[in-house]
Amino acid sequence: MNKKNLVAAALLTAVMILAPGASSLSAAPAAQLIVALDPDYQTFDPALAYEAYGQMVLHPVYDTLMQFEKTIDDLKYGVAESYAVSKDGLSYSFKLRKGVKFASGNPLTANDVKWSVERSINLKGNGAFLAEGIASIEAPNDLTVVFKLSAQDSSFLTKLTSNVFSVVDSATAMANGATNAADAQTSDKAKLWFDGHSAGSGPYTIESYTPQVEVVLARNPNYWGKAPYFEKVTLKSIKDPGAQLMMLQKKDIDVAFNLGPEQVKQVKGKAGIEVAKAQSMTITFMLMNRDPAVGGPIANPDVQKAIRLALDYSGMQTIAGEGAVTPVAPFQVGFFGSLPPKNPKTAQNVAKARELMKKAGYEKGFKTSFEVSTQTVEGMDLPTLAQKIQNDLKQIGIETEIKTSDIMVALDPYRKGKQALSLWYWGPDYPDPNNQLAFLPGNSVGLRANWTAAMSPKLAALGEKTAVEVDPKARAADLKAIQELMDADSAFATLLQHARQYAYRSDLKGAYYNDTYKLNLAAISR
């Protein structure tokens, strides 16, 4: 064979090898929805799953008593059709919908609800704390379940939307090694089974799960509600946002969920692709230590206020990407009782910041360390933001030395309150402003800044009252007062509430964002 024939043969072989894969472009079945994401789920056991994307899979597979329709202030009934609360706020009685069946065909009863929640409590997974306030669960009949709480909890109904409260087909689960016994942490053997199977009553079932590759959901023929449009939903693990973007452009996927600001710019306005923008509940904030032994000059409340005034929020929002806002306090915009975001143009007042520094006795400024983990938050690099802040603080004389470290290393001093000035982010554990009470003086995050209740007794007391306030009007007023107080005096500077941008093929409908379950897969159609 001469050289030319050899080259021709090689090229032909290359085309023959590549062609089958290339020709599969856009060949996914019409009845299949393909979503690309960079997932963090480690299990699909509803009692144990507690990762951000876990609920995306579990929401269409398992029903809960309450659920969010679209936004997180749009609480609706799930598998419950009504509820009643006792006057003392300690007893919640739910009536279940009639005729609901699990995917197995077994009827969904109050006993399944009781069993499921008890299993979640006893397995002691990362989400079990959501059920901490439950003293007992009773199922007086097949369609009634009663929760008795040990203390009033104004966020109880919201908590019930979590996958930790998923209603599981107890018969199927027990047949596969699950138990709700008190020693479930050691005796339950169903975790691996749940990773590749499901026992729910939602519009989908888990057909298969290949870690690091994909999870496939299949339509549940026994679903009690409106059947979803797609027969199958495949969630593909595609870590790289550039790869997600390319696959969306080639129509190999329908939704690219983890695009950063740079990728969104490339795809905006392109034919056949829509970019969705939604408010995420993730916030980025600065911690300023109130303990002089740790924070030095930073511990001075006037210095902390000066820092908040010196920051260029407009510039930070540009770094975070389109749609980012700055809440007044660490209470996300969109939560019940939240105040409108700060006006970034007027929130900065360098002249006033300098006056406060002078009042605090630091007219000439000072030096401090500034600790930052090397994380990317909603597509934004924290060290990049830290450099911006460093420049802003120079204007009022504060020289910061940025110290970066991996988050696993940074978490320890953060939790122990050993950081003078640091940059962190926070995503709520459940979609309720009670989450954010952790930032108040004397509470878990407040104490990381050594901000004790004694330092701000009025704020601390207001936080305790709000946590148990069941009257919505009174609760809203308390939350407003808390945010205003924290805007005036706080150990934190709330910098950003991030936007979430993702892209999808323009022939899809219903691909709206919800911070709890990200996308309502069952609501999407073509």
Site residues (vs other proteins, CB under 8 A): 14-22, 24-25, 27-29, 32, 34, 42-43, 50, 124, 126-127, 129, 185, 191-192, 210-213, 234, 236-240, 242-243, 246-247, 249-250, 252-253, 406, 408-409, 411-412, 415, 429, 444
Q: Least distance in Å: CB of 124 to other proteins?
A: 6
Of 367, 425, 433, the C-alpha closest to 396 is 367
Rounded to the nearest 10 degrees, what angle do helices 382-394 and 313-320 cross at? 160
Nearer to other proteins, 251 or 358 (CB): 251
Q: Least distance in Å: CB of 212 to other proteins?
A: 4
Whole-number Å distance between alpha carbons of 278 and 499? 6
Cβ atoms within 10 Å of 278's Cβ, excluding its own = 16
Q: Least distance in Å: CB of 363 to other proteins?
A: 37
Q: Residue 378 region, left (φ>0) first, then alpha (ψ -120 to 50), else beta?
A: left
**Whether the Cβ atoms of residue 287 and residue 448 lie closer than 8 Å to each other:** yes
What beta strand segments (E) does 273-359 contain?
273-288
Q: Tokens at residue 505, please?
A: 């093929």
Cβ atoms within 10 Å of 91's Cβ, excluding its own = 16
Residue 78 dihedral angles phi and psi, to the nearest 5°: -105, -105
Q: Least distance in Å: CB of 358 to other proteins?
A: 38
* Amino acid occupying residue 280: S
Nearer to other proteins, 29 or 99 (CB): 29
Q: Least distance in Å: CB of 26 to other proteins?
A: 9
Helix residue ranges per DSSP H, 200-260: 241-249
Nearer to other proteins, 182 or 192 (CB): 192
Q: Least distance in Å: CB of 38 to other proteins?
A: 9
Count how many Cα atoms sit within 13 Å of the Cα of residue 221 in the half-sphere of its side chain.
2
Q: Least distance in Å: CB of 183 to other proteins?
A: 12
What single-letter DSSP state applies at residue 239? -
Nearer to other proteins, 109 or 373 (CB): 373
Nearer to other proteins, 227 or 411 (CB): 411
Nearer to other proteins, 18 or 488 (CB): 18
Q: Least distance in Å: CB of 271 to other proteins?
A: 15
Nearer to other proteins, 139 or 438 (CB): 438
Q: Least distance in Å: CB of 137 to other proteins?
A: 21
Q: Least distance in Å: CB of 17 to other proteins?
A: 5
Nearer to other proteins, 392 or 432 (CB): 432
Contacts of 347 (CB under 8 A, 6+ apart): 309, 311, 313, 326
Contacts of 453 (CB under 8 A, 6+ apart): 441, 442, 460
Of 287, 288, 281, 286, the C-alpha closest to 324 is 281
Residue 87 forms beta bridges with which residues? Answer: none
> What sign results for the dihedral spanned by CA atoms 170, 176, 181, 186?
negative
Residue 219 forms beta bridges with which residues? Answer: 204
The radius of gyration computed from the CA coordinates of the chain, to the nearest angstrom, equals: 26
Nearer to other proteins, 185 or 222 (CB): 185
Nearer to other proteins, 149 or 164 (CB): 164
What single-letter DSSP state applies at residue 227? P
